[in-house]
Amino acid sequence: MKIVAITGMDLTKMIEQMPEDLKARSQFQWFKSSSGAEQEIADADVIVTAGRMNPDMMKLAVKLQWLQTLSAGVDKLPLQELAERHIVLTNARGVHTIQMSEFTLSLMLQWVRKANLFHEQKQNKIWSHHIQVGELHGKTLGIIGAGAIGEAVARKAKAFDMKVIGLNRSGDPQPACDATYSGEDGLTTLLSQSDFVVLLLPSTAKTRGFITKEHLALMKPSAFLINLARGDVIDEEALISALQEGSLAGAALDVFEQEPLPVTSPFWTLENVILTPHIAGASAHYTERASSIFYHNVRAFLDGGEMMNIVNLKEGY
């Protein structure tokens, strides 16, 4: 079996630590970009990518049977073409749970403890102990997209004595949530009750524009919104207006409709916005966690076993 990886991610450890039995039964080649991979891609049974696939490479990959992406999101991949060619797609769902849940709590603490303000005062050599800071204790956290990452966020939030409510498609109870809702009525309830709202939705045809201007209007003026999902799950113009007008207290945004975020975006200058460059899922252990999924799937592919994280190409996750 021939595996061709095309990604700028460092796969050195993934290749070196591959179990010996898999090494003996496969040929693994890694290219940091499409350049240079053209000669090898035609014979590839498997392609490994980090979430994007050059259309020209797809055309050359005439023997491709399985595509493994090292990202959880698959919205940048040619899902329709994969479906038409009956190519299996697996993702790295599950590798973000630890770092994204920690990041979510850090953002909430950064907001309530006014860390940005204290950093600014330090820069300006201002000593003032009259600043009033808040607490997470007793606050309500709403998790939109209450899956594996949401469950990890909920467990950590409960350690701060927060009430946690979740929203997912099924409405099935989540162990760490005090209540779990579904549908538009559930979304309305969650938005109106929450002091913090975190978005953890995948980007699919059904979730694009999921949070509208009308939804934002349901939130408390004191509420804080965190988007770690994708930029297109929320109406960015409506969000900017809400933040500028003060109908929403603040937001922490790691993802945007256009990335890198244009220098002309109002988000850069809004004082009530914490802005990060799509790094919520970053971790020094990322490749290690993704490798365990990949090794399992290589063995399953070779032996006819059950692969992990097979993506529903119609649904997009």
- Whether the bond between 260 and the residue before it is cis, its omega within 30 degrees of 0, is yes
CA distances from 169 to 124, 201, 204, 293 (A): 48, 11, 13, 25
Asked if 129 and 81 count as a contact pair (C-beta separation under 8 A), the reply is no
| Rounded distance between C-alpha atoms, residue 219 and residue 251, angstroms | 12
Check if 278 is active-site.
yes
- CA dist 120 and 267 (Å) reads 18
Q: Which helix (H) or strand (E) holds 31?
A: strand 27-31
* Burial profile 176-201: b = 16 or more Cβ within 10 angstroms, e = fewer: bbebbbeeeebbebbbebbbbbbbbb
Residue 155 falls in the annotated catalytic set: no
| 96, 151, 230, 236: the active-site residue | 230
Spot the catalytic one: 278, 289, 296, 299: 278
Clarify whether 289 is annotated catalytic: no
Identify the helix (H) or strand (E) that includes residue 118: helix 115-123
Which residue is it, tokens 């899922």? 281
268-290 b/e with 16+ CB inside 10 Å = b? eebeebbeeebebbebeebbebb
SS3 annotation, 255-291 = CCCCCCCCCCCHHHHCCCEEECCCCCCCCCCHHHHHH
Residue with tokens 């592919």: 301
Question: Which of these is catalytic: 84, 259, 288, 315?
Answer: 259
Which residue type occupies 154?
A
Annotated catalytic residues are 230, 259, 278
